[in-house]
């Protein structure tokens, strides 16, 4: 082919790649000012499955593994480039409320230990800490070995219901364009309840009186500090209460020239030469608003760099501290709480309520990170002390749409209860239960509310 002909063909190819023409609001009849009308188009259904799990955080990976192991064809859709959500992309590095858990939670800790990814004290006691990079590989192996079909870099953007008000398709956006996945059962593990909201479910969000949500936190990894030298500023699982190390650390940060936005900054030992750092609060922002999340992330990353630089300027035990990484995903503590068949309430956690259809025993206390920095920049004082309580299966089943379950922090609960059950140790157990129930429901042609708890225990 001659050079001129090649250039001509290349140009034609480039033109064809542009696809269908769009029209602006000025050229579209019946379009409101300030809007454009998207052309109607057919969206390809690229795959179908028995169970589709949206979101691959701690709840989502557990749901997908459990569903797959029950023999259901399972698709797992995830926005990020790795599995784990806040556990990995969020660099959380610290699992709360896992001590009384069995099943997948126990198996996950065992796999981390085998790969030398779990943190132990010098006495040999396992802590809540883990290496996020090891966690990524462990989760991928567990899902792959179970037969879960994984789709990374894939964001849920819409949902379709059939004439019987049953969820039937989820629509995604990715480098592959806009695509649809057909499913028999769906599990929303997006954290913010995105799938349920797209499907038309009602939800609550924020404090019932103010509407404020708990602040976001951007996690970071730091190195260049010695666990023996900085012993007064952190502790492991068996070293006693957290308050004094946090206060001492804040004083050091202030001495370095920056008072942290989180009044109780924390260092978690992951390895002797690697610590996770939680020192940031982003107030009055919502995880469902991308502009809020963007501004919060930019502010948080700037603050973390200032704090690390300030500590290094102190010399002595801090002279070699360096920032290894800030999280890809800022930690969002609170999003939508989807309306379920049952709502976990503050009375439940106050009374330590037991449930006949319990899927998870929560032992973590009330943990409301301040919604108003003018009052306090740490943890708000709880109105009472919670008792260990049950999360019932009914709180994992959507009230407004058929064939939809939730797991993780977007389950049905009120503001105070959510602050207790939202942590990752509980999310894993909720996800495992949802995955099992969804698989059984598909196999027996039932809705999840018709599955008895005895069938999964």
369-398 pLDDT per residue, tens: 999 999 999 999 999 999 999 999 999 999
What's the pLDDT band for 236 if we cut at 50, 70, 90? confident
Regarding whether 232 and 199 lie in a shared domain, the answer is no
* Tokens found for residue 297: 């992330």
Same domain, 90 and 185: yes
Nearest residue to 203 via CA among 409, 348, 380: 409
Produce one character per residue of 131-151: b if its CB has 16 or more CB atoms within 10 Å, e if not: bbebbbbbbbebbeebebbbb
Residues 122 and 204 grouped into a single domain: yes
User: Does residue 286 have a pLDDT over 70?
Assistant: yes
What is the pTM (predicted TM-score) of this model?
A: 0.94
pLDDT at res. 457? 81
Mean pLDDT of 426-432: 98
Please check whether residues 175 and 315 belong to one and the same domain: no
What average pLDDT is seen over the chain?
93
- Indicate which CATH number applies to the domain containing 360: 3.50.50.60
Quick check: 195 and 159 in contact, CB under 8 A? yes
Chain-centroid distance of CA 285 in Å reads 17
Would you say 388 and 358 are in contact if contact means Cβ atoms under 8 Å apart? no
pLDDT in tens, 135-185: 999 999 999 999 999 999 999 999 999 999 999 999 999 999 999 999 999
Lowest-pLDDT range of 80-84, 119-123, 197-201, 249-253: 119-123
| Cα atoms in the 13 Å half-sphere on the side-chain side of 245 | 19
Secondary structure of residue 450 in the 3-state scheme: helix
- Residues 276 and 340 reside in one and the same domain: no
Clarify whether residues 158 and 56 are in a common domain. yes
* Number of continuous H segments (helices) and E segments (strands) in the chain: 10, 17
Q: Residue 342: inside a domain, yes or no?
A: yes
Q: Which residues pair with 94 in a beta bridge?
A: 129
Same domain membership, residue 422 and residue 292: no
Domain end position, chosen among 296, 326, 356: 326
Count the domains in the chain.
Answer: 2
Q: Which residue has the higher pLDDT, 432 or 238?
A: 432
pLDDT at 239: 60
pLDDT-derived band at 3 (thresholds 50, 70, 90) equals very low
Domain boundaries, position 274: 220-326
């Amino acid at each position: 082919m001659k050079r001129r002909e090649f250039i001509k063909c290349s140009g034609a190819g480039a033109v064809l790649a542009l696809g269908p023409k769009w029209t602006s609001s000025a050229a579209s009849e019946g379009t409101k000012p300030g809007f454009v009308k998207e052309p109607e188009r057919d969206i390809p259904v690229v795959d179908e499955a028995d169970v589709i799990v949206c979101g691959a955080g701690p709840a989502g990976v557990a749901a997908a593994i459990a569903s797959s192991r029950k023999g259901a064809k399972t698709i797992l859709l995830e926005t990020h480039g790795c599995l784990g959500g806040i556990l990995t992309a969020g660099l959380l590095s610290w699992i709360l409320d896992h001590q009384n858990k069995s099943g997948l939670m126990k198996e996950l800790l065992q796999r981390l230990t085998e790969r030398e990814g779990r943190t132990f004290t010098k006495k040999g006691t396992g802590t809540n800490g883990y290496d996020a990079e090891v966690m990524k590989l462990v989760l991928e192996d567990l899902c792959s070995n179970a037969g879960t079909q994984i789709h990374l870099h894939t964001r849920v953007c819409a949902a379709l219901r059939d004439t019987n008000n049953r969820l039937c398709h989820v629509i995604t956006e990715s480098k592959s364009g806009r695509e649809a996945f057909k499913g028999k059962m769906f599990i929303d593990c997006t954290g913010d309840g995105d799938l349920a909201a797209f499907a038309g479910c009602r939800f609550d969000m924020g404090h019932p009186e103010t509407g404020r949500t708990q602040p976001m936190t951007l996690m970071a990894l730091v190195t260049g500090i010695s666990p023996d030298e900085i012993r007064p500023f952190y502790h492991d699982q068996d070293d006693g209460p957290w308050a004094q190390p946090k206060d001492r650390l804040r004083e050091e940060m202030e001495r370095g020239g920056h008072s942290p936005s989180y009044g109780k900054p924390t260092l978690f030992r992951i390895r002797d030469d690697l610590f996770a750092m939680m020192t940031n609060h982003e107030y009055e922002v919502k995880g469902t608003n991308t502009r809020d999340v963007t501004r919060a992330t930019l502010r948080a990353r700037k603050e973390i760099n200032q704090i690390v630089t300030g500590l290094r300027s102190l010399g002595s035990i801090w002279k070699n501290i360096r920032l290894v990484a800030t999280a890809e995903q800022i930690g969002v503590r609170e999003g939508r709480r989807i309306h379920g068949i049952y709502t976990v309430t503050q009375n439940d956690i106050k009374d330590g309520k037991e449930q006949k259809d319990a899927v998870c025993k929560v032992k973590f206390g009330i943990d409301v990170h301040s919604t108003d920095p003018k009052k306090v920049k740490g943890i708000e004082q709880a109105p009472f002390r919670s008792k260990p309580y049950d999360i019932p299966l009914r709180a994992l089943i959507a009230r407004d749409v058929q064939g939809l379950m939730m797991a993780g922090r977007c389950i049905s609960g009120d503001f105070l209860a959510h602050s207790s059950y939202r942590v990752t140790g509980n999310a894993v157990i909720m996800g495992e239960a949802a995955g099992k129930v969804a698989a059984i429901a598909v196999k027996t042609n039932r809705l999840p509310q018709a599955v008895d708890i005895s069938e999964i225990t």
